[in-house]
Amino acid sequence: MSAKLVIKNIGLLLSGKIEEPIFDGDCLIAVDGKIEQWGYEKDLDTEGATTTIDAHGVTLAPGLIDSHIHPVVGDYTPRQQQLHWIDSTLHGGVTTLISAGEVHMPGRPKDVVGLKAMAIAAQRWYENFRPSGMKVHAGAPVIEHGMVEEDFKDLADAGVKLLGEVGLGTVKDGKTASQMVEWARKYGIQSTIHTGGPSIPGSGLIDADMVLETGTDVVGHINGGHSALPDDQIVCLCENCKAALEIVHNGNERAALLTLNTARELNKLDQLILGTDGPAGSGVQPLGILRMIAMLSSLGNVSAETAICFGTGNTSRRRDLDTGLIEKGYCADFVLMDQAQHAPGKNILESIQLGNLPGVGMTIIDGIVRSERSRNTPPANKLPELV
Query: Smallest distance, Å, CB 318 to Zn ion?
Result: 17
CA–CA separation, 377 and 274 (whole Å)? 19
CA–CA separation, 323 and 96 (whole Å)? 8
Query: Smallest distance, Å, CB 216 to Zn ion?
Result: 12
With respect to Zn ion, which residue has the nearer C-beta, 21 or 225?
A: 225
- Whether the upstream peptide bond of residue 342 has omega within 30° of 0, thus cis, is no
Query: Smallest distance, Å, CB 275 to Zn ion?
Result: 10
With respect to Zn ion, which residue has the nearer C-beta, 4 or 226?
A: 226
With respect to Zn ion, which residue has the nearer C-beta, 276 or 377?
A: 276
Query: Smallest distance, Å, CB 194 to Zn ion?
Result: 4
Residue 229 in contact with residue 207, Cβ under 8 Å? yes
Query: Smallest distance, Å, CB 101 to Zn ion?
Result: 8
CA–CA separation, 262 and 296 (whole Å)? 13
Query: Smallest distance, Å, CB 221 to Zn ion?
Result: 6
The CB-side HSE value for 125 (13 A sphere, CA atoms) comes to: 16
With respect to Zn ion, which residue has the nearer C-beta, 28 or 143?
A: 143
- Angle, CA 175 vertex, CA 174 and CA 178 arms, to 5°: 75
Residue 258 in contact with residue 234, Cβ under 8 Å? yes
Chain residue whose CB lies nearest Zn ion: 194
* Residues near Zn ion, by CB under 5 A: 165, 194, 225
With respect to Zn ion, which residue has the nearer C-beta, 255 or 304?
A: 255
- Closest Cα to residue 68, out of 143, 128, 138, 160? 138
Query: Smallest distance, Å, CB 246 to Zn ion?
Result: 10
Residue 96 in contact with residue 323, Cβ under 8 Å? yes
With respect to Zn ion, which residue has the nearer C-beta, 60 or 229?
A: 229
Q: Helix, strand, coil shares of the chain as percentages rounded to 5?
A: 30, 25, 45
Q: Is 346 exposed, middle or buried (0-12, 13-18, 19+ CB in 10 A)?
A: exposed
CA–CA separation, 352 and 346 (whole Å)? 10
With respect to Zn ion, which residue has the nearer C-beta, 225 or 300?
A: 225
